Structure 1
């Protein structure tokens, strides 16, 4: 895995200060994957404490940028999760927060979407850049393909990596192959039950 070094002029740095922050936050296996072969996510089931951290993050997100597959996965469960028999208070809270969170799905094939969601069909780098320059709260990006495009374009301001102590032997990598380095600053670490460690990094520009 290589990192990326992004250098920008001072004028670009001043402009960046006024832009919305874009974060890439996902679970990762110790060998660097966000999903095991066959899109298996069974290794990343969160503890109650970690689930609350994800829920609080959803509540603080001004706009979530999803790829098509991630949108399909989330929308297949969370719109009505709080109405399911046996739903826990934490799941009920997350479902409500997820429905309220504005979402943009990047897809040329997705048709009608429900709730607080809209479809973006334009070129991903241009569209993400435009959204970063707009008004609103911080943005999160998810979905391996969409996030990889933003990573390679140097658009990610913050990486939140939740590392689980498991080796999955392949699958979908957290980081795409990169052409240049990115220097990062570690701004937070936190340990969760089960040996899970959250590391939060800011991109140095």
Structure 2
């Protein structure tokens, strides 16, 4: 992929202002839109892809690592994340098991008897979702400092960027799983 930052006229940065990103995308896509004079469908697609890459912090950091030519490597999760994962895994399995029981419940009484467990699962998912959101938000607050370290030539900043990108990717996946499980209970 071409440099998404350059396509949208933005600086290479881990932290981007959402409003500035959207404005840059709108300006670039207006000029490249195929319905405009001089517009180009391929360029418009590149601009949309660049926006999609930069909009999600985990994708943005991955792209930034690619631009810095940092090779991919596995990043182990820390104890705090492992603890959260050890709560999340069983909760998601419990939801899947509950959904099977609810689907096989034939009578209104059988379904009504499952209501307390459903409520308990919803509460558990809501609490886990809040924890995931809070921890992800906390990681996002470190992006400006990381940009500062990158621009000052700190040699450890790229490895920290790699770790942060991996953690954000985990949190993003976990957010989606919690959201999907919660919606399946509706």
Query: What TM-score does the superposition give when structure 1 sets the normalisation length?
Result: 0.20
Higher helix fraction (1 or 2): 2
Higher strand fraction (1 or 2): 1
Higher RCO, 1 vs 2 (CA within 8 Å, ≥6 residues apart): 1
Query: What TM-score does the superposition give when structure 2 sets the normalisation length?
Result: 0.22
